[in-house]
Structure 1
Amino acid sequence: MPKKIPNWLFYGAALPITIAAATVASSYWWIWASAAPSSLGTKIRLTIDDGMPTQAIAQELESAGVIRSSLALRLWLQWLSIRGEQSVVLRSGTYDFATNQSLSEVVAQIRTAKSTEVRFTIPEGWSIAQMAELFEKEKFFTAAEFVAATQRLSPKRRDWLPNNIPSLEGFLFPDTYQILPSEATPDRIIDLMLDRFEQVALKLYREDQASKPKVKISLADWVTLASIVEKEAVIESERSLIAGVFWNRLRRNMRLESDPTVEYAFNIKQTPESPLTLEQVRMPSPYNTYLNEGLPPGAIASVGLASLKATLDPASTDYLFFVARFDGSHVFSRTLDDHEKAIQDIDKKIPQKSR
């Protein structure tokens, strides 16, 4: 009888063979997984959103045919991290990939943010003038070109736009946008922002007014009043209360007496240490709600969804006045006497605040 091979000898010989086979197999897999999916160089446009997890990005790239393996991408990022690369972050943006790019080339393109489209953000409460300054700073076009474009109110632009507005102020929806550099013209950007207004704000307005609205209001007046709420409200919990105060004043034919309308009319920026003066408040302008009853001729800023909603659903309150504190909150009052006392109390603290 032949001698039986000891187990230790069998496993001792099998282990190196297994390791070698696994190494060869993994090497072949890596060569395949990291290679370009195709030699044709077909273009694939893909958008990576802000905050998108790496695993989701990898899966998106694989599904689109930009890379062969999402696992390989994650392994490659880990390897770059181990090597001490300063940044292995995959940046958001819209990219034009080619199917003849290797895995490392795809990752390098995303890490260096060679995005096909440029991105810009319009914050809530910005005026057309502030938008124009941004676009000029980003070298899209001059501020004057953008302002002029917002004043071209052809009916062909949007059939739902009110006829009596002086400009597109208030109808350019604040959001983050992406656009090809070659398409970054004033009219193209305006179209993007009007599209977003139509999708978000106009949809909200039509649904609200078609049901049993808490308040009945025209589209133009809604946007105008909401823009004043937007500029007055700092703390979210006060937004509908501020809207309620303005609605109360309008129903009683009281002037709104809103500081932001004066600031907008005369391009003034007040501070706690340098508030509006009596002379400024008395300067004539259609936008000066200290002098004119009702709403101004148009909006004074871009309006976010929260202020739009608050204006359609104002708080039920008997307050008629409010004044801002230093932290952005407000003191609300029912009577003029209480309001004036609140103003005096806040004014007393201004010297202490400036020290």
Structure 2
Amino acid sequence: MRRAILAFVALLLLVGVPIVLAPWFGWGNTAAPAVSFEVKRGASLASVARDLEEAGLVSSAGEFRLLARVLGSDAPVQAGRYRLQPGAAWGDMLAALQKGEVERFTVTIPEGWPAVLVAERLNAVPGLNGKASVPAEGSILPDTYEYQPGEDRAVVMKRMQTAMTKTLADLWPKRTARAVVRSPAEAIVLASIVEKETGKASERRTIAGVYSNRLAVGMKLDADPTVIYPITAGKPLGRRIRQSELRRDTGYNTYLKPGLPKGPIANPGRDSIMAVLDPAETDALYFVADGSGGHVFGKTLAEHNANVARWFALRRQRGEM
């Protein structure tokens, strides 16, 4: 270290303080677009300095190493992939490498996506290894997940499934007396229907309340998404449901018999799971679209039929029927 300090002092005397320190503090530098830079496990400061020079991130490995020893901390650099900018202050670069501020790679699974779309998205993520199989429906918690290039896709998917397992284990004991589901598995099934029936967060508990009321009195759920699921594996149908499909017994079709379908029809998010475990207190047994992305709710069949008539009139006015 003494030898490095002496060399540094000599350099200062030779070329002047501002010139020597400019790269360390980024004086006068214009940051270029960021590039990806990887620090391998066990790498030394010397090897990292050489790699930084080869990547065009510093102009001199020797100068970087000297300035790092004199002005930087003694903390080791951390392995990982970083996003660094050519022309940025060398001191900031070193600090990022020592703190392990690695580049974040993420993949997002939206709420209500079916398992087949989860597998398709994960298989489309670049830089991962292996092929993801279609997971069990309802086993994935929709969220944004971090991954590192080179990870196995099955490992990333397992992380998503573990998140669902932990979330359900955390929420199940918090269910209220209004919840009609009898097991965590049933909670996922009903939550998947609630997820597919509304895109409005404010409606989730009310939709869950309607379906809970129907289950409690033995009414059929009559949920369109349960008819569509076995046709498309949960992907959008792209057309109206046919009468023949409404009569088909697939084990999912809730137009044929009371009770829940034989399994989930999507991967529900945390809020939909919470909704079926704590449904809204409501007398409603029916709901229909209101034309604004939400729904209007009814307590009686007569009230529901009037709401449906208004919805059909609106659709005819829009030229949709």
Shorter-chain TM-score: what band?
0.5 to 0.7
Matches of residues 23-42 of structure 1 in structure 2 within 5 Å? Answer: 25-33=17-25, 38-41=45-48
Residue identity in the other structure for 2:304: H
Instruction: Extract unaligned runs of 5+ from structure 1.
Output: 1-23, 43-64, 70-93, 151-167
Q: Does 1:235 align with 2:204?
A: no
Match of 1:121 among 83, 105, 108: 108
TM-fit CA distance, 1:118: 4.1
Instruction: Identify which of 230, 242, 265 aligns with 1:277.
Output: 242
* 2:106 aligned counterpart, secondary structure: strand
Shift in Å, 1:278: 2.4
Counterpart check, 1:251 vs 2:216: yes
Q: Which residue in the other structure is 2:122 paired with?
A: 135
Q: Give the match's secondary structure for 2:110.
A: coil
TM-score (norm 1): 0.61
CA contact (8 A) 2:113 2:266 kept: yes
Matched residue, 1:198: 165
2-side partners of 1:189 and 1:284: how far apart?
A: 35
Q: Which residue pairs with 1:215 in the alignment? A: 179
Per the normalisation by structure 2, the TM-score is 0.67
- Aligned partner of 2:264 in structure 1 is 299
CA distance, structure 2, for counterparts of residue 218 and residue 103 of structure 1: 55
SS of 2:150's equivalent in the other structure is helix
Partner of 1:172: 140
CA gap of 1:354–1:184, structure 2 versus 1, over 3 A, is: farther
Mapped contact 1:132–1:142 kept (Cα < 8 A): no
1:1-355 alignment, distance < 5 Å: 25-33=17-25, 38-41=45-48, 95-97=80-82, 103=88, 118-138=105-125, 146-147=133-134, 150=135, 168-185=136-153, 187-206=154-173, 208-209=174-175, 213-215=177-179, 217-267=182-232, 269=236, 274-354=239-319
Task: State the 1:184 CA deviation.
Answer: 2.8
**Which digits, 9 at most, give the CA deviation of each residue in 1:324-343, with x for residues without a partner?**
23322111111112212222
Structure 1 residue 103: Cα displacement = 4.5
1:202 CA drift (Å)? 2.3
Q: 1:343 to 1:326 in 2, by over 3 A?
A: same
- Alignment length (residue pairs): 252
Contact 2:23/2:89, CA 8 A, preserved across alignment: no
Q: Summarize deviations over 1:100-129 as a string: whole Å, max 9, x none.
A: x9856887xx9xxxx766421100000011
Give the drift of 1:277: 3.0
| 3-state secondary structure, aligned to 2:168 | helix
The alpha-carbon distance between structure 1 residues 351 and 214, as it changes in their structure 2 partners (threshold 3 A), is: closer
TM-align CA RMSD: 3.6
Q: Which moved more, 1:115-124 or 1:231-240?
A: 115-124
Q: Distance in 1 between matches of 2:170 and 2:22?
A: 50
Point out the more displaced range, 130-139 or 171-180: 130-139
Cα pair distance change 1:184/1:141, threshold 3 Å: closer
* Shift of residue 354, structure 1, vs aligned partner: 3.8
Which amino acid in 2 is paired with 1:261?
A: T
Contact 1:232 1:260 in 2 (8 A): yes
What's the counterpart of residue 164 of structure 1? none
CA gap 1:320/1:262 in 2 versus in 1, 3 angstroms: same
- The letter of the residue matching 1:171 is S
| Deviation of the 1:31 alpha carbon | 4.0
Cα separation, 1, equivalents of 2:259 and 2:265: 14
- CA change 1:338–1:134 in 2 (3 A) is same
C-alpha separation in 1, matches of 2:228 and 2:262: 15
